[in-house]
A and B are shown apart, each in its own frame.
Chain A
Amino acid sequence: MSDSKGTVPLIVDGKRLDGRGIEDLRNLRIEVGIIPEADGSSYVEWGGNKILCGVYGPRECIPRHDASPYHAIVKCRYMMSPFASLEEHGRSGPSRRSTELSKVIREVFENVVIAEKFPNTQIEIFIDVLQAEGGTRTASITAATVALANAGIPMKDMVGSVAVGKAGDVLVVDLNKAEDNFGQSDMPMAISSRDKKLLLLQMDGLLTKEEIIQMVEMAERGCDKVNVIQTDALKRFYEKGEEESIKW
């Protein structure tokens, strides 16, 4: 509460509140295949976010009238646990916010999954936010990509996702809760790893055209970092068979 407006400075000497530089990500840890009953699953810890993701399908499309004879339908259900954050998120039923997030995450994967191979079916992505600390939609996309790869669902590309925002008049990558709530602007983005296609872009706050161009470039670099960790997690999981000897 240092300046006259009664706000905390978000950037001090080029460092952020949690000691990160402007382009540093929070700690990101990904585990693969942690729900044995699901076709594919992942668990992501990104800063204070804890996200569990399970993927099922392609399987019979229910309700039947949703099915398309041309391609598989991608469905996504994002849910924030009632205990996930400081704010009240109520009971776990659908809300305005979770419906929006389910939609934007679904649209990311509709562009990536090669659905034409599975007519009359659905692919379901279930995302549960167990703990939230800003940037759950980007963490959810990161988790769902890994779970889809684990499920063996054909995809054109891996998707990395990161938010870039403006806090304390400085452009920063991977906003935490304080920067998201008290910063000037927030722009989550999802970018495919190989051909760098922009699959999600939302914006909150005010930005100039130049800033946005710069932020997309920053997001590309951030997504590359996320992709390295995703790749690492999947490789670790699939190579584990090599080291792990059978337990009799």
Chain B
Amino acid sequence: MDKKIVLPGEKVAEGRINAPNTYSDGTATYAAVIGMMDEEGRYVPLENRYKPTVGDVVVGMVTDVRHAGYEVDLNLPDGGFIPTRDVRLTLQLGDFVICKIKSVNEVGDVDLGEVRRLPKGKIIDFPSAKVPRLIGRKSSMLNLLKDYSGGDIMVGNNGYVWMSEKCDMPLLLKIIKLIERKAHKSGLTDEVANMLKLEKGERPQTTEQGEEYV
């Protein structure tokens, strides 16, 4: 085990550094959530609560349609809001949307812009701390998943993952579960690629065997 797990209260750096999920007493910086130290000695959180920041791309579901705008579930304590005057499209209750965070105020109310409606599909909840691993370096992991599942996938910074109904859902859910569980492991993209190849290769075989019994 080369990567060291760090618990809340453990020192992650000397002096005061400005990193998310840490706090400092002036002389040193300490971890605030469970995380690990990567190869370069940087602290990477393993669990966190998503904190909305301006410019983040988020996926959500419309939960309320009002005259002034739409309320969107973003997996946050309070939902986001799309003001009607900023969007041209008409949304309905239950529509999936992908948008950008336009502003966040002091108490965490989120205003959304650049809204796009997503076609029919499914949204699943993914830990937001592990979202970078689901996307991969230069979207390598995401492209891999899109190629093998045969449909489109959208990942929001808030941890909601939208999958098109064209996707091979059982396969995709299984792979996403795997990524969630092994998010802190290196060489994950290669491992997932192998798994997907194996899965695709084995599938015709099992159906043939099944037909023999019929």
Q: Kindly state whether residue A187 has any CB partner on chain B within 8 Å.
A: no
Which listed residue, B32, B51, B78, B185, touches A156 by the CB 8 Å rule?
A: B32
Nearest-Cβ distance from residue A110 to partner chain B, whole angstroms: 15
Q: Is B10 in contact with A194, judged by CB distance below 8 angstroms?
A: yes
Segment at the B interface, from A16-24, A45-53, A114-122, A177-185 = A114-122
- In the complex, what distance in Å separates the CA atom of A240 from the CA atom of B1? 12
Interface size on B, residues (CB 8 A): 35
User: What 1/0 flags go to A210-248 for Cβ under 8 Å of B?
Assistant: 000000000000000000000100110011111010101
User: What 1/0 flags go to B1-42 for Cβ under 8 Å of A?
Assistant: 100010111100000000001010000001011101000000
In the bound complex, residues from chain B placing their C-beta under 8 Å from that of A157 are: 8-9
- Which B170-211 residues have a C-beta within 8 angstroms of A? 174, 178, 181-185, 195, 199
Q: Is A69 in contact with B107, judged by CB distance below 8 angstroms?
A: yes
Query: Chain B: interface secondary structure?
Result: loop
- On A, residues with C-beta under 8 Å from B are 40, 57-61, 69, 114, 117-121, 149-158, 192-195, 231, 234-235, 238-242, 244, 246, 248
19 additional contacts (CB under 8 A) given A149-B33, A192-B9: A58-B49, A118-B77, A120-B77, A120-B78, A120-B107, A120-B108, A121-B77, A121-B108, A149-B8, A150-B34, A152-B45, A152-B47, A152-B49, A154-B33, A158-B9, A234-B5, A234-B7, A234-B34, A242-B1
- On B, residues with C-beta under 8 Å from A are 1, 5, 7-10, 21, 23, 30, 32-34, 36, 45-49, 51, 77-78, 106-108, 127, 129, 174, 178, 181-185, 195, 199
